[in-house]
Structure 1
């Protein structure tokens, strides 16, 4: 029996437009073998659109993609358009309107990709970042020229559901959760976070867990990266830790992410982490692996774990055999690397 998924494509800016075609080509190749077909609707929402029309997306943009099964995003950002404009004009409205409260970032050191650390060969963990509240709130403002106030918003619902997701995920992995905190210095929100994480941990007695202050945790990610399994963190802490972790794994160019609505009441969004990279756009230099791995995460989320595993295994094999893009020390361009991966699939 065949299955059809309707996917909203937002290529975005720069190399985002170059990595989405490899991702969809891989999806189509694997889907053909598993009886999965994809119907793609592409949207030109980008900084280029903002420059021309004054908005990253149309006023009814969210309604246009609400009924899709998932969203695959390339990258957003371009010189001349402030980052907060592109973020708050596109990504954050999608994440919040569609209750994508889990940001999932798998981290693994793959054979053939050199980590800057000598002790990273056993790295395989996941950062679970709260994606809808916390430090990234709109509450605050400026008082005159000399004072700016930014409020962090933590709710019992928000902390409980991200903690539950992390503990449930750990049950399917190695059974350990590390919670990022800073309750010794942030006296209201972080003790609140700690209390709720402890409450939710009690519901998962088979999972070991510990709480780590964010500064010490950042150091341990460098000194002992192999000790971690699932890391759960607030919006800001998770944002910082996940990029640090991608660097530990050898390249932000291959790092994927998922913005998940676990209940599937709304579409989830999948995107590579690398950004739009204007300096290499249009030169066949973009590494498509971040987008391809994100597409594999999308497949898994849509209920096709075997097809997703075929993609990640082909990625691992190709990297191990030395076929790599230039950011990983190889010679392959975007098109050549993609062609070889499609051949493997």
Structure 2
């Protein structure tokens, strides 16, 4: 039996994971869930440990993992969030962050020109290196002469493998986004690996943009993009922009992948949203669409497409949460998706 590790997490995480698991169960795939509901901020505040070795063993023994959200306003630093997310990405070597962005309905787009609204692209983000590697330090802290250093780490192996993945999922084109004109050492490494990858894939259209130009073009005509591949920090930023162009963070799903080992962690892009936690209005689409990515990862493409059609039908009917202009609660939207799934 296929086992999926589930970490509901904090804030709205448990609220959106509930409907997502209902959808997974409704697909009838015979999946068993191993719920790690103790991995949360409450446990961290009590013990100082975000993720234990035993927790990692349970996740490693599963075919994939599903995460709700982590984060708590009582914690002023990032140690807890990094202790969960960064630990999982590094320990499982989930070197690809895969974030698709698709406009589910024309009314959700912030763009004025209807011809340029239909975003349908993927951000492929290097997920284990870059500025988020945690390498750096500081001195003279708290003084007028304070110095802080964060290292933007790039390795040939890390860059080459994420570029190769980007080409493997392209339908028509891949665009490399960097800032090689200003960040010269890492930029030159990315450029060399890019030239080699382009040569290996002559049938895929390849282009290159600096990150500021890419942001401008995304905001004016996102339909021009298929796959954007970039480093950790740029990918984090650009994928929030593509989410906004597709209707907001509430509909944004993501996958953290190791295409070689098959290990994978799926999660909605939104955070724990403590300002709306407990109000019952959190949008479950991001979590439900993350389940679609998970199911697709398990080789069940037909079922994944059925989930996406159900979400599209709910959006088209306006049966959505307030962030998308509706009046339904989190649970009610989950019920709508289940009803659409069961239609012949």
Query: Shorter-chain TM-score: what band?
Result: over 0.9
Unpaired segments ≥5 residues, structure 2 = none
Once the 2 structures are TM-superposed, how far is the Cα of residue 143 of structure 1 from its aligned partner?
Answer: 2.2
Once the 2 structures are TM-superposed, how far is the Cα of residue 84 of structure 1 from its aligned partner?
Answer: 1.4
Once the 2 structures are TM-superposed, how far is the Cα of residue 271 of structure 1 from its aligned partner?
Answer: 0.3
Partner Cα separation in structure 2 for residue 55 and residue 28 of structure 1? 31
Gap change, CA 1:21 and 1:83, over 3 Å in 2: farther
Q: Deviations over 1:55-100 (max 9, x none)?
A: 1122432122111001000000011113511222111010111110
Q: Tell me the equivalent position of 1:224.
A: 221
Q: How many residues align?
A: 334
Partner Cα separation in structure 2 for residue 70 and residue 83 of structure 1? 28
**SS state at 1:188 partner:** helix
| Contact 1:112–1:320 (Cα < 8 Å) also in 2 | no
Once the 2 structures are TM-superposed, how far is the Cα of residue 106 of structure 1 from its aligned partner?
Answer: 0.3
Q: Tell me the equivalent position of 1:318.
A: 314
Q: Which moved more, 1:112-121 or 1:222-231?
A: 112-121
Q: Deviations over 1:213-260 (max 9, x none)?
A: 001111111011110000000011101100111111121111000001
1:255 aligns with 2:252: yes
1:148 aligns with 2:148: yes
Q: Tell me the equivalent position of 2:98.
A: 104
Q: Tell me the equivalent position of 1:204.
A: 201
1:50 aligns with 2:47: no
Counterparts of residues 1-345 of structure 1 (less than 5 Å): 4-30=1-27, 32=28, 36-43=29-36, 44-111=38-105, 113-119=107-113, 120-145=116-141, 146-170=146-170, 173=171, 175-265=172-262, 267-345=263-341
Partner Cα separation in structure 2 for residue 107 and residue 83 of structure 1? 30
| Contact 2:130–2:153 (Cα < 8 Å) also in 1 | yes
TM-score (norm 1): 0.94
The CA RMSD measured in Å over matched residues stands at: 1.2
Partner Cα separation in structure 1 for residue 18 and residue 8 of structure 2? 9
| Contact 2:122–2:228 (Cα < 8 Å) also in 1 | yes
Unpaired segments ≥5 residues, structure 1 = none
Partner Cα separation in structure 2 for residue 83 and residue 15 of structure 1? 20
Q: Which moved more, 1:100-109 or 1:59-68?
A: 59-68
| Contact 2:318–2:325 (Cα < 8 Å) also in 1 | no
| Contact 1:49–1:57 (Cα < 8 Å) also in 2 | no
Partner Cα separation in structure 2 for residue 230 and residue 130 of structure 1? 13
**SS state at 1:37 partner:** coil
| Contact 2:20–2:284 (Cα < 8 Å) also in 1 | yes
